[in-house]
Amino acid sequence: MENKKFLTILKIGGNIIDNPTELKQFLSDFSKIDGYKVLVHGGGKSATKMAQSIGLVPQMIEGRRITDAAMLEVVVMIYAGQINKDIVAQLQAYNTNAVGFSGADGNLMLSSKRNHPTIDYGFVGDVQKVNTTLLGTLINSGIVPVFCAITHDGKGQLLNTNADTIASELAIALSEFFDVTLNYCFEKPGVLFDAADDNSVITSINQELYATLKADGAIHSGMIPKLDNCFNSLQKGVQKIKIGHHRMLNDTKALYTTITL
Structural domain boundaries, residue 104: 5-185
pLDDT at 221: 81
Residue 130 has pLDDT above 80, yes or no: yes
State what percent of residues in the chain have pLDDT above 90: 81
Decide if 108 contacts 101 (C-beta within 8 A): yes
Q: Phi-psi region for residue 225, left (φ > 0), alpha (ψ -120 to 50) or beta? A: alpha
Sheet holding 109-113, edge to edge: 125-130, 109-113, 150-152, 158-160
Which residues carry a binding-site annotation?
43-44, 65, 160
Mean pLDDT of 218-231: 88
Condensed to tens digits (0 to 9), the pLDDT of residues 26-77 reads 999 999 999 999 999 999 889 999 999 999 999 988 767 899 999 999 999 9
Number of domains in the chain: 1
Which residues carry a binding-site annotation for substrate?
43-44, 65, 160
Residue 121 has pLDDT above 90, yes or no: yes
Decide if 100 contacts 84 (C-beta within 8 A): yes
pLDDT at 1: 44
Residue 240 domain-assigned (yes or no): no
List residues bridging with 78 in a β-sheet: none
Taking all residues of the chain, what is their mean pLDDT, rounded to a whole number? 93
Residue 153 domain-assigned (yes or no): yes
How many whole angstroms separate alpha carbon 99 and alpha carbon 91? 9
Helices 132-140 and 163-174 cross at an angle (nearest 10°) of: 80
Residue 234 has pLDDT above 80, yes or no: yes
Decide if 49 contacts 176 (C-beta within 8 A): no
pLDDT at 173: 97
Higher pLDDT, 101 or 43: 101
Q: What do you get for the CA distance between the two ends of the chain, in Å?
A: 27
Residue 184 has pLDDT above 70, yes or no: yes
The CATH number linked to 153 is 3.40.1160.10
User: What is this structure's pTM?
Assistant: 0.93
pLDDT at 111: 98
Residue 227 domain-assigned (yes or no): no
Residue 170 domain-assigned (yes or no): yes
